[in-house]
């Protein structure tokens, strides 16, 4: 190794130690509660003076904290401690209210619309109906501790849907109404999950910028006999939610 390469190597190793130290200290302060959710981090200049490092080192440490989901950069305002992501386990069929209660969060809902519409090809296929049939569409914003978390579009066959919309959907979950009030047990569901940019209506409902990355889940829930009951398009904030599942390996024989 030449002297030039050796010096470059040592310089890189030192930089790595420096930004790692800045990152570790700030992460510890967040974990200990010295920096709380919503608090603004000190300015770059303040961190440079505090740690005796370069601007590049500070920026690299901050970017690592962003990647870990510990802080968020708000353009024109600064860097702030981010709310911890909500962990959603995809291991069983459950509704939003059940999920939030299990996490110790307070779930609420804001109803955007309840109307009768004609089923497009996708809705008709998922609910085993004919395209153009009337169905009930319910649109809601779901909140956890007052923070918009998901925008839900629910489609139901006309007969059961007309019953569901007579209820207070701000307080009563559709899953509970189906099972407890209308005796429609939910047995299983098919999930399709992908990442999409937030379009205008969804972005406004979730209070994020247009084209922000969000999760879109298509979920069709089935009752006894494999009968589809409920088809949903669920849009979750990508900055606040993490989906987790556990997979078993299929053993070849």
Whether residue 132 sits in one domain with residue 25: no
The CA-atom distances, in angstroms, between 7 and each of 17, 21, 56, 86 are 15, 21, 19, 44
Whether residue 214 sits in one domain with residue 119: yes
Domain membership flag for residue 101: yes
> How many structural domains are present in the chain?
2
Whether residue 132 sits in one domain with residue 149: yes
Q: Give the torsion through C-alpha atoms of 87, 178, 191, 99, to 10 deg.
A: 0
Query: Which residues, 6 or more positions from 34, have their beta carbon under 8 angstroms from its beta carbon?
Result: none
Reported confidence tier of residue 8, pLDDT bands at 50, 70, 90: very low
pLDDT higher than 90, residue 142: yes
Reported confidence tier of residue 14, pLDDT bands at 50, 70, 90: low
Domain membership flag for residue 253: no
Burial 153-182, CB ≥16 within 10 A → b, else e = bbbbbeeebebbbeeebeeebbbebbeeee
Q: Supply the pTM of this predicted model.
A: 0.72
Domain membership flag for residue 92: yes
Whether residue 148 sits in one domain with residue 114: yes
Mean predicted confidence (pLDDT) in 13-21: 68
**Among candidate residues 49, 81, 113, the one where a domain is terminated:** 81
Domain membership flag for residue 249: no
Domain membership flag for residue 121: yes
We report the CATH number of the domain holding residue 29 as 1.10.10.10
Helices (H), 81-213: 96-102, 121-126, 158-164, 174-176, 200-206
pLDDT higher than 50, residue 36: yes
Reported confidence tier of residue 73, pLDDT bands at 50, 70, 90: confident
Whether residue 110 sits in one domain with residue 219: yes
Q: Are 72 and 229 in contact (CB under 8 A)?
A: no
pLDDT digits (tens, 9 = 90+) for 190-226: 999 999 999 999 999 998 889 999 999 999 999 999 9
Whether residue 238 sits in one domain with residue 132: yes
**In angstroms, rounded to a whole number, what is the distance separating the alpha carbons of residues 84 and 128?**
39
**Among candidate residues 28, 48, 81, the one where a domain is terminated:** 81
Whether residue 213 sits in one domain with residue 187: yes
**Nearest Cα residue to 114 out of 185, 165, 175:** 165
Q: Are 137 and 115 in contact (CB under 8 A)?
A: yes
Reported confidence tier of residue 251, pLDDT bands at 50, 70, 90: confident
We report the CATH number of the domain holding residue 169 as 3.40.1410.10
Domain membership flag for residue 251: no
**Among candidate residues 19, 50, 81, the one where a domain is terminated:** 81
Whether residue 116 sits in one domain with residue 41: no
Whether residue 71 sits in one domain with residue 98: no
Whether residue 16 sits in one domain with residue 134: no
Whether residue 174 sits in one domain with residue 130: yes
Whether residue 218 sits in one domain with residue 165: yes
Compare 123 and 84 and report the one with higher pLDDT.
Answer: 123
**In angstroms, rounded to a whole number, what is the distance separating the alpha carbons of residues 236 and 162?**
26
Domain membership flag for residue 72: yes
Q: Containing domain of residue 126, as a range?
A: 86-244
Domain membership flag for residue 116: yes
pLDDT higher than 90, residue 248: no
């Amino acid at each position: 190794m030449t002297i030039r390469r050796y010096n470059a190597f040592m310089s890189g190793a030192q930089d790595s130690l420096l930004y790692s130290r800045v990152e570790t200290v700030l992460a510890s302060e967040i974990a200990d509660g010295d920096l709380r959710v919503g608090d603004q981090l000190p300015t770059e200049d303040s961190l440079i003076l505090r740690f005796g490092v370069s601007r590049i080192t500070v920026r690299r440490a901050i970017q690592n904290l962003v990647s870990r989901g510990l802080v968020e950069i708000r353009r024109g305002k600064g860097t702030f401690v981010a709310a911890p992501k909500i962990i959603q386990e995809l291991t069983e069929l459950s509704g939003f209210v059940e999920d939030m209660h299990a996490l110790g969060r307070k779930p609420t809902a804001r109803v955007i619309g309840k109307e009768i519409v004609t089923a497009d090809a996708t809705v008709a296929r998922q609910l085993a109906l004919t395209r153009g049939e009337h169905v009930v569409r319910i649109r809601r914003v779901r909140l956890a501790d007052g923070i918009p978390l998901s925008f839900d579009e629910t489609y139901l066959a006309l007969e059961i849907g007309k019953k569901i919309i007579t209820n207070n959907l701000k307080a009563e979950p559709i899953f509970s109404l189906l099972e407890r009030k209308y005796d429609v047990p939910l047995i299983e569901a098919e999930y399709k999950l992908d990442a999409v940019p937030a379009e205008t209506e969804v972005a406004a409902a979730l209070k994020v910028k247009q084209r922000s990355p969000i999760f879109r889940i298509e979920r069709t829930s089935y009752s006894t006999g494999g009968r589809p009951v409920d088809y949903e398009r669920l849009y979750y904030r990508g900055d606040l939610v993490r989906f987790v599942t556990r997979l078993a390996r299929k053993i070849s024989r």
